[in-house]
Amino acid sequence: CTPKNKKDMPGLSFLAKKSWHTANLNNQEKVWMAEQKAAQEKAKTTELAQQIQQEREQEELDMIAGKTKRLDRGIDWMYAGGVGGPQYEEEERKKESEEYLLGKEFNPNHAAAAASGDFNLSGAVGRTVENVVSAPPPPPPPLPKEEEEEEAPNTNT
């Protein structure tokens, strides 16, 4: 005596409102979002696999052609563009010009030192490396004075 369709069991329609039921719209949305995320992840993985395959093929062709071996691709990004890169230098120039327009004093020595990469922090700190190395170590802190405690005679003998 099993029903052949849902219309035969009208008393169970409340189950669709339960948080665990598959017909619940929130659950359907969660499933759809998870499927979309999995599809994006799969597409990203296949794209990376294709990129790695192309790099390997290029390395093979370079080896056949006798070109020098490339650096480890895990650290290539470190050597691209030098220190800071041109984008960083452009941002610094814009920042300095804006500060000048806002009234900050322009120091051409600082700009020349920044451009050459020669930084001297001794003026900012007030101590040079030579002073720090040649200076004697500071004396140790004094030990706390111990007060002489007179021992009371022990009467519990």
- By the 10 Å C-beta count (0-12 exposed, 13-18 middle, 19+ buried), 107 is classed as exposed
Instruction: Please count the structural domains in the chain.
Output: 2
Determine the 3-state secondary structure of 138 from DSSP. Answer: coil
Determine the 3-state secondary structure of 70 from DSSP. Answer: coil
> pLDDT tens digits, residue range 78-88?
766 655 666 77
Q: Is residue 29 part of a domain?
A: yes
62 and 33 within one domain = yes
81 and 58 within one domain = no
> pLDDT tens digits, residue range 32-50?
999 999 999 999 999 999 9
> What range does the domain containing 62 cover?
21-70
25 and 59 within one domain = yes
31 and 52 within one domain = yes
Q: Is residue 124 part of a domain?
A: no
The answer to pTM > 0.85 is no
User: What residues contact 3, with CB distance under 8 A and at least 6 apart?
Assistant: 9
